[in-house]
Every structure is written in C-alpha cells, then in structure tokens.
Structure 1
Amino acid sequence: MSSTVTLGLIGGLVVMAVLFEMLRRQTLREKYAVTWFLIAVACLAIAVFPRLLFGAADLLGVAVPANLLFFVASIVLMVLTLQHSYELGRLEEKTRTLAEDLAILRMEVEASRRDGPEGQGGATVPLPPDPDV
C-alpha cells in the first residue's frame, strides 16, 4: 500500500470518527453532517480506488489528476463558505428582529409599571438586565 493511499485512508477515517463524535455530543447539526459524511466517503473512495481519480481526469481532459482533485476541493470549500455565509446572514437578521422585539417589550413593561397602581402593573416582577448596558 502506497503512502498516498495510507494518508487518504487515515484522513477519511479521522473525518468520519470526528464527525460521529460531534454528532454523538450534539455539537454538529445533521444537515451539516451529511455534507461532511459525503466528503469523507469521497476521500475514502479515492484513497481505496485511485483509478477513479485518474479516470475522471481522463474523462474531463485534465492532464494531472491532482489538479482535478485540488479544483474539486476548492469548489467544495467555496460552496461550503457560501452556504455558511447565507446561514450567517439569516441568523443576523433573526437576531436583529429578536433584539427589536425585546426592546419593544421592555418599553411596554416599563410603561405599564409607571402607569399602573402600586399593587398592580407587575411592580414585583423584575426585568432581566439589559445585556448592552
């Protein structure tokens, strides 16, 4: 067994082990685990059957199979980055909306405390501290 095959097998198995451990500890969501599982399987397949890479390079007209591997890896990284950027933007929008809703609720509670009689109006319920202060 060549060192390239050994390195590919070790890399794929390490990714699989880390992936399953992160899933077990619930630190990785399932929708991301599927992507990483497919990447690990592809690494293992190329390590076990290197002729797949050579055949794909011949089929696509790429002179050096390693160039095809690096190109595909860079495309995968770009797609993952794009997906995470989309998720980050969506979460930032959701956080902004929640902060605005919390500010409105704080204003309503404070207004009801000022306007209500002493025994009513929730004067005994403390507001949570404002994290921005």
Structure 2
Amino acid sequence: MTPTSYILGIAAAIVTLIVVVELLRRRRLRERHAVWWLLAATLALIVGIFPDVLVWATAVAGVVLPTNLVFFVSIAILVLVCIQHSAELTDLEAETRVLAERAALLELRVTELERSRSQPAVGETAEG
C-alpha cells in the first residue's frame, strides 16, 4: 500500500472517532450504539498506524490477503450492529403495541364516561 492510502485510512479513522465522540457528547447517539463504531474506528486507527498488525492478524487468522480480513471484520461489525438494532426494534414494537392498546382502552373509557354524563340520571328531568 502507498503512504497516501495509509494516511487516508488514519484520517478516516480519526474523523470517525471524532464524529462518534461528538454525537455522544451532544446526546445524539447512545453509548450502547457507539460501542461498535468506536471499536471499528479504533481498529482502523491501529491498523493505519501499525500496518504490520494487519499482516500478523492475517497470518494468525489464516487469511490469504489482508484486505479480505478487513472486509470480513467490517462485515462482522455491521452484522452485530444490525442484530443489536433488530433486538431494540423488537422491544420498541412490543412497547408500541402495549401503548396503543392502553390508549384504545382509555379512549373507550372516556367515550363511555361522556355518554353516561350526557344521559339524564334516573329521577332527573332533562331540565336539570
């Protein structure tokens, strides 16, 4: 790889770290969502600064090309993010269903109360 590609990789990792930390600081991103992005950016920064680590990891993993290992790890991190979001989506759907059921029951109760108040009670006249 050329020095330009290493510099570009380091810059991208630093920018990613800065963006994730800034989103965390502004409370636009929750900590549990930021973990995977911080992990990916940190790994990219380590590999950008010490490219021999990638060559070593490729040999340890038994992968032929370092690029294949990078793609595999990247895809694995994205799959973990998707699984995490799917689990949270399932929880949110269950909460939404419960809230919709409660709102419907409350609306029914309000309608019944309004209907019972508009009808005169036994022994009363319509005049009051």
Identity %: 39
Equivalents in 2 of 1:35, 1:76: separation in Å? 7
Paired residue for 2:93? 92
**Greater length-normalized contact order (CA 8 Å, ≥ 6 residues apart):** 2
Question: Which has more radius of gyration?
Answer: 2
Report the TM-score when normalising by structure 2. Answer: 0.84
- Amino acid in the other structure paired with 2:83: L
TM-align CA RMSD = 1.6
- Amino acid in the other structure paired with 1:49: F
Unaligned runs of 5+ in 2: 120-128
Unaligned runs of 5+ in 1: 119-133
Equivalents in 2 of 1:55, 1:4: separation in Å? 19
Report the TM-score when normalising by structure 1. Answer: 0.81
Counting matched residue pairs gives: 118
Instruction: Report how far residue 117 of structure 1 moved.
Output: 6.5
1:61-72 superposed matches below 5 A: 61-72=62-73
Paired residue for 1:46? 47
Q: Which runs of 4+ in 1 moved over 6 A?
A: none
Higher helix share: 2
Secondary structure at the aligned position of 1:69 is classed as helix
